[in-house]
Amino acid sequence: MRPKDLDLILRSVKDEDLKYSIELLYRQWRNTALDIKELDKKLLEKAAEDPLENIYRSVPGIGALGARVLSNELGDMSQFSNEKALFSYTGLTPGEYSSGGNVHRGHISRQGNSRLRHMLVEAAWKTIRKD
């Protein structure tokens, strides 16, 4: 919202208490926006220092924030002995409901790192929209 838009709104409001509340909320919103800009700047500084940043950003659908999450949560992935261990860590493996000779695979297990899983799912949606 631009300051002149806020002025238009405030001129139309007759109730002083409501006007005060709107001004207070606008100041909070403006301060939050400044904090977000500061965090974005810090994110870019950290990205410049990280050797894994370019690797993760080369993946379609992964932007600056996604690359930071991947770098922080996965690192260089040397802690995973194989793909199965990595998939299990993300919680994107299917649940299994088996009995006797019947094997039924269900929805994802959701056991694992939820922040990483959410970021990967959002990156997949972004990639699907562009493809």
CA-nearest of 81, 49, 47 to 62 is: 47
Residue in the structure block whose two tokens are 């410049």: 48
Global confidence as pTM: 0.62
pLDDT in tens, 71-116: 888 888 899 999 888 888 888 888 777 888 888 887 887 788 888 8
- The proportion of the chain whose per-residue pLDDT surpasses 90, expressed as a percent, equals 12
Q: Domain map of the chain by residue range?
A: 1-49, 51-131
Q: What is the dihedral of CA 117, 119, 42, 26, to 10 degrees?
A: -120
